[in-house]
Amino acid sequence: MRFSAHNRSIVADSAERQNGRTRCRTAEPQNGARTPHLSGTETTSGVGGRRSVGAVSACRSLLATALFLGTVAPFTLAAGFTRESALAQAQNTFPAAALPADVLPAGVIATENLVYATPAGTPLALDLYRPSADGPHPAVLVIHGGGWDTGSREMERPFAKRLAAQGFVAVPVSYRLGEAGRFPAALHDLKAAVRWLRAHAVESGIDPARIGAVGGSAGGQLAALLGASKGSAALEGDPGNLSASSLVQAVVDIDGLADFTDPALVAQQVAKPSAPTRFLGGAFAERGDTWRAASPITHVGPAAAPTLFLNSTAPSPLLPGREEMAKKLRSLGIGAEVAAVPDSPHPFWLLQPWFDQAVAETAAWLHRELPAPGPTLHLAGDSTLADKAVRAFPERGWGQMLRPLLRAPWHLDNQAVNGRSTKSFRDRGHWQRVLDRLRAGDVVIIEFGHNDEKQEDPERYADPATDFPANLRRFVREVRERGGLPVLATPVVRRAWNDDGTLRDTHGAYVAAVRAVATKENVPLMEMEALTRQLLTDLGPEASKQLFVGDAAIPVSGKPDNTHFNEEGARRVATLAAAELRRLGLPCATALAEPPNAGAAPSSVSTH
């Protein structure tokens, strides 16, 4: 594989073994060309054996201290934070910790040491690990940690190779460190790397519409910032390929902070300045604007990338802002989750026994947020079907649990948001986000009612006789105008029991309004109210507690929660929803796994 890279970029091309000795050499410009061609080192693992073009392993000791730019130009990699140092520190608390094997999986091609930019004359390189199967594939930039002062992309190669085995073009990347990398220089480098990937997408087997970023520790902060700072010209930089976009479509922040301005972190840095103060060029009191600009949470807006925060349980370092940023993203209808890996040290993603889980969680999130082109099942609604940001809290939406039941080529795009009504869902821009992602042939499930009922809240209230049905009709019309198939769903029931053991009707005229619009507009109707009413009635007042958040909400809200489902409840309701989709014969029904114990729809269910 050969690339022309920014006029001056060239990297160590080959290692040759002669008489038992190894030597490295630079690639020579071909045919007298003044602009050298970039040539990396390529290795293939899989059927047909292994081939090496200038094996990296033969030159690694030299490449650790120098890259080549026409003639040898020294480029010393920062020392200090390595896989080995992370292991040594972790073993003080976790004696069984070990390094994962650094091997190239079968079916993966490695092309290493490709220079993507030369800011201020400093060559910066990346590696490509890509599936040997035909693409294009989603790509993911893999950003190393080390307190913005140390570390190297080589330490992320095992992680990247495992991601490549799961269908990604995984790209460990170098960026400027220490004084040269002070904010925003490191971010500029990473944006340049994303632009380079898009500029070389065809020859790299990359789908330029599906690029994500994952980083650990300082790399996690940079990945989150890369995903949140879309459209910020001040943070773009100019090291190469400016005609390409630097946007990423998904992020995994592994134990990296999201808010430098958190009071606890600021106080810590006043007492004992360390990596954050160095990275930001001075104290918060002197450079507050810089601290805010470097905080991913500052930039969260409608164009931010869906983000998974995958955290350790280590008490230090202090890494604020992650839950707050996740909630801010979810409030905009953007995918976000916070998950913790139990009993784990800070650099857990580099070490076994946590490495495998970190790879699996990262791959699952990226597959979800970077789906292959294909038909989509969109969800528009409120908290009862929304994805939830904080995994440690038991609340789940039934749409969140429907996702595992939907198989390729279909994928699920859950835009439902806690607290929204038909009015606020449009007013806050969530509906426009659905329309922007909608393609002909897609299916859109629309379920509202819980928050439209809140007469005391003018931002959300929609009269069941006028505004509520009008809002539903407008949703239906706009989906059809774009070639999609709208599906209305009646709101699920609350766990509200009368003294005689029957369920109280808390939705009143809203359920009838949904049914009336479905009939008049000839829209398929999912009878989620009737189905969940029957589910709770069969269980009874006591056993139905097992489906709801219940008393687990008391420390948060001061009262039990009998509106929102826990994981078991959301799974049961998702099973009912899958059965409804199959009953209605919708296009996505054939892609649904057969729901276990789905049960029959109640006799009151009508087909529209």
Q: What pLDDT was estimated at residue 42?
A: 63
The enclosing H or E element of 269 equals helix 263-271
Please check whether residue 596 lies inside any domain of the structure.
Answer: no
> Can you say whether the dihedral through the CA atoms of 261, 262, 263, 266 is positive or negative?
negative
> Can you say whether the dihedral through the CA atoms of 335, 336, 340, 346 is positive or negative?
positive
Q: What pLDDT was estimated at residue 316?
A: 86
Reduced to 3 states, what is the DSSP secondary structure of residue 158? helix
Residue 43 pLDDT greater than 70, yes or no: no
Q: What pLDDT was estimated at residue 44?
A: 59
- 386 and 342 within one domain: no
Mean of all residue pLDDT scores within the chain: 86
- pLDDT tens readout for residues 375-434: 999 999 999 999 887 777 899 999 999 998 999 899 999 999 999 999 999 999 899 989
- pLDDT tens readout for residues 326-370: 999 999 889 999 999 999 999 999 999 999 999 999 999 999 899
DSSP annotation of 388: -
Rounded to the nearest 5°, which phi and psi values hold at 565? -80, 150
Query: pLDDT class for 234, splitting at 50, 70, 90?
Result: confident
**Residues 552 and 512: beta-carbon distance below 8 Å:** no
Residue 207 pLDDT greater than 90, yes or no: yes
Residue 506 pLDDT greater than 50, yes or no: yes
Residue 45 pLDDT greater than 90, yes or no: no
Q: What is the mean pLDDT of residues 54-70?
A: 31
Residue 39 pLDDT greater than 80, yes or no: no
Q: What angle do CA 100, 313, 99 make, to 5 degrees?
A: 10
**Side-chain-facing half-sphere of 30: CA atoms under 13 Å:** 8
Query: pLDDT class for 9, splitting at 50, 70, 90?
Result: very low
- pLDDT tens readout for residues 235-275: 988 767 778 999 999 999 999 999 999 999 999 999 999 99
Q: What is the mean pLDDT of residues 469-484?
A: 98
Domain extent, residue 462, equals: 374-591
Please check whether residue 16 lies inside any domain of the structure.
Answer: no
Please check whether residue 31 lies inside any domain of the structure.
Answer: no
Exposure string over 284-304, b if 16+ CB within 10 A, otherwise e? beebeebbbbbbbbbbbeeeb
- 286 and 434 within one domain: no
Please check whether residue 172 lies inside any domain of the structure.
Answer: yes
Strand partners, 131: 108
Please check whether residue 233 lies inside any domain of the structure.
Answer: yes
Report the CATH number at residue 430: 3.40.50.1110
Q: What pLDDT was estimated at residue 520?
A: 98
- 324 and 257 within one domain: yes
Q: What pLDDT was estimated at residue 50?
A: 37
Q: What pLDDT was estimated at residue 40?
A: 58
- 438 and 404 within one domain: yes
Q: What is the mean pLDDT of residues 109-136?
A: 95
- 202 and 135 within one domain: yes
- 277 and 416 within one domain: no
**Side-chain-facing half-sphere of 162: CA atoms under 13 Å:** 18
**Residues 576 and 599: beta-carbon distance below 8 Å:** yes
- 287 and 192 within one domain: yes
Report the CATH number at residue 325: 3.40.50.1820
Furthest-apart CA atoms within the chain: distance in Å? 92
Q: How far apart (Å, rounded) are the C-alpha atoms in residues 130 and 163?
A: 9
- Using alpha carbons, select from 235, 230, 234 the residue that is nearest to residue 245: 230
Top pLDDT among 37 and 490 is at 490
- 543 and 521 within one domain: yes
- 516 and 446 within one domain: yes
The domain tally of the chain equals: 2
Strand partners, 206: 137
- 451 and 396 within one domain: yes
Q: How far apart (Å, rounded) are the C-alpha atoms in residues 573 and 402?
A: 9
Choosing from 368, 389, 409, the residue where a domain stops is 368
- pLDDT tens readout for residues 92-101: 999 999 999 9
Please check whether residue 45 lies inside any domain of the structure.
Answer: no
Report residue 566 as tokens.
């826990």
Choosing from 347, 368, 389, the residue where a domain stops is 368
In which region does residue 234 sit, left (phi positive, over 0), alpha (psi from -120 to 50) or beta (all else)?
Answer: alpha
Q: What pLDDT was estimated at residue 408?
A: 87
Choosing from 312, 336, 368, the residue where a domain stops is 368
Residue 599 pLDDT greater than 80, yes or no: no
Q: What pLDDT was estimated at residue 394?
A: 92
Report residue 594 as tokens.
């057969």
- 315 and 242 within one domain: yes
Q: What pLDDT was estimated at residue 66?
A: 31
Q: What pLDDT was estimated at residue 89?
A: 93
- 291 and 420 within one domain: no
Q: What is the mean pLDDT of residues 193-216?
A: 97
Q: What pLDDT was estimated at residue 37?
A: 36
Please check whether residue 48 lies inside any domain of the structure.
Answer: no
Q: What pLDDT was estimated at residue 135?
A: 86
Residue 1 pLDDT greater than 50, yes or no: no
Please check whether residue 149 lies inside any domain of the structure.
Answer: yes
* Helix, strand, coil percent values for the chain (each to nearest 5): 35, 20, 40
